[in-house]
Amino acid sequence: MTEVAFVLGTRPEIIKLSPVIRSCDRHGVDHAVIHTGQHYSERLDSVFFDRLGLAEPEVNLGVGSGPHGEQTGEMLRGVERVVTDVDPDIVVVQGDTNSALAGALAASKMDPEIAHVEAGLRSFDRSMPEETNRVIVDHVADHLFAPTEKSEKYLVREGVPEHRITVTGNTVVDALERIRDVARREATVLDDLGLATGGYLLMTAHRQENVDDPDRFRSLLDGAAGAGREHGLEVVYPIHPRARGKIEEFGIDVPAPVRTVDPQDYLDFVRLLSASAAVLTDSGGVQEEACVLGVPCVTMRDNTERPETIHAGANRLSSCDPDRIRRAVTEALDTDGAWENPYGDGGAAARILRALPVSTEIDEVVR
């Protein structure tokens, strides 16, 4: 019988669950990895698993993209079938994706207990599909691993019993501790793209509410370009395939000095992020990574489920208004990156595994 089954489907989930999976490997905890295929770039996924020191998943459902209901329904069917075959004691999901939702819902109708890594995040914006996902997963989970005390307070306020909640820190710190020095030594992306440390702004934008709205997407690009021109910095944009497709569909001319480049594997992305003057993003994970790496961040959204980054002084909300983006970038560039990291000491994976009812005694030092 398998003790733990990890259900994941996107690159952020692979990154953030990798420390927990490696901890299972070190301690001989019998586990399986079920990949839904929600992010369906075989090349990038293979590189991610290799660079993060993980074996290939036992199962890849290959669901791919599609409308939310169709995608989630396909995942539910596939996860239920595989969980029946694997027969785990615990199903672990991470974050707020459709893969996390499907994994938790499927397991909630079956025998395994459910563990949610990165529980308790809230944007309080129910128009975001991710907010619906994370709330539902939290309320069917048996073990909720909150990255911060603020996340724990949100869960308690919603009526989640305190004995189900463990504050662990964020596994993104564990992952970055392993990869950032390797990226500095081995990644060639700066030379490949002709970039100098501190000589560019990094940008990511892929969220549905931003790139599916042509006016909002144009405003976002105009704001990033304006900030780049104002500070004499190129804006490097590793463009998500979805966003590239929308640029073509809407006939958007990407303004200089924004330069679109191909998506990067994790090692190269961490190097790009850590060497940038600042990052402009709509990604929750990038907000965390920038905060941990000491890189000032501007979040091109109306809200964030990572308020700790704002309170630390690492992050600013700009919405997609071009003037607000430019002002936020100016403020960000005036910071020194000396804020206190709110996401813990890199011992989150050990805390998570210790809290799960597995047969092996976990003797890792929790810092």
pLDDT digits (tens, 9 = 90+) for 32-71: 999 998 875 555 566 678 878 888 899 999 888 888 899 9
27 is catalytic: no
367 within 8 A of 348, measured Cβ to Cβ: no
CB atoms within 10 A of CB 248: 9
Q: Omega of the bond prior to 257 within 30 degrees of 0, cis?
A: yes
DSSP assignment letter at 163: G
Comparing C-alpha atoms, which of 319, 316, 117 is closest to residue 223?
319
SS3 314: coil
Which pLDDT does position 66 carry in this prediction? 83
Q: Read off the tokens for 142.
A: 């048996």
pTM of the model: 0.93
Pairing of strands 278-281, 297-299: parallel
Q: Catalytic one among 206, 231, 240, 311?
A: 206
The span from the CA of 184 to the CA of 200, in Å, is: 17
Which pLDDT does position 47 carry in this prediction? 67
Residue 365 has pLDDT above 60, yes or no: no
Q: 214-231 vs 322-333: helix axis angle to the nearest 10?
A: 40
CA dihedral 260, 262, 263, 269 (to 10 degrees): -80
Q: Which residues partner with 166 through β-bridges? A: 145
Which pLDDT does position 45 carry in this prediction? 61
Q: Read off the tokens for 207.
A: 């969220």
Which pLDDT does position 139 carry in this prediction? 98
**Alpha-helical regions (H) of 63-121:** 68-86, 98-108
The span from the CA of 330 to the CA of 323, in Å, is: 11
Backbone angles phi, psi at 114, to 5 degrees: -120, 130
Residue 104 has pLDDT above 70, yes or no: yes
Q: For residue range 82-99, what is the model confidence (pLDDT) as tens digits?
A: 999 999 999 999 999 999
Comparing C-alpha atoms, which of 147, 23, 141 is closest to residue 93?
141
Residue 345 has pLDDT above 80, yes or no: yes
Which pLDDT does position 40 carry in this prediction? 58
Which pLDDT does position 1 carry in this prediction? 64
Q: What is the mean pLDDT of residues 347-361?
A: 91
Comparing C-alpha atoms, which of 78, 32, 39 is closest to residue 54?
32
Q: What is the mean pLDDT of residues 213-234?
A: 98
Which pLDDT does position 265 carry in this prediction? 87
Which pLDDT does position 2 carry in this prediction? 85
Give the confidence band of 366 by pLDDT, cuts at 50, 70, 90. Answer: low
Residue 367 has pLDDT above 70, yes or no: no
Q: Which residues partner with 249 through β-bridges? A: none
Output the CA angle 180-186-192, nearest 5 degrees: 110
Comparing C-alpha atoms, which of 283, 183, 196 is closest to residue 238?
283
Phi-psi region of 134 (alpha: psi -120 to 50; beta: other; left: phi over 0): alpha
Give the confidence band of 195 by pLDDT, cuts at 50, 70, 90. Answer: very high
Which pLDDT does position 163 carry in this prediction? 97
Backbone angles phi, psi at 40, to 5 degrees: -115, 20
Q: For residue range 10-40, what is the model confidence (pLDDT) as tens digits?
A: 989 999 999 999 999 999 999 999 999 887 5
The span from the CA of 263 to the CA of 94, in Å, is: 23
Q: Which residues partner with 298 through β-bridges? A: 280, 316
Q: Read off the tokens for 170.
A: 């964020």
The span from the CA of 353 to the CA of 260, in Å, is: 40
Residue 73 has pLDDT above 70, yes or no: yes
Q: pLDDT: is 58 or 107 the higher one?
A: 107
Arithmetic mean of pLDDT over the chain: 94
Which pLDDT does position 41 carry in this prediction? 59
CB atoms within 10 A of CB 259: 18
The span from the CA of 79 to the CA of 61, in Å, is: 8
Which pLDDT does position 320 carry in this prediction? 96
Q: For residue range 119-170, what is the model confidence (pLDDT) as tens digits?
A: 999 999 999 999 999 999 999 999 999 999 999 999 999 999 999 999 999 9
For the chain, give the percent of residues with pLDDT over 70: 96
Sign of CA pseudo-dihedral 358, 54, 176, 243: negative
Comparing C-alpha atoms, which of 298, 218, 205 is closest to residue 250?
218
The span from the CA of 62 to the CA of 64, in Å, is: 6
Backbone angles phi, psi at 355, to 5 degrees: -80, -15
Q: For residue range 294-331, what is the model confidence (pLDDT) as tens digits?
A: 999 999 999 999 999 999 999 999 999 999 999 999 99
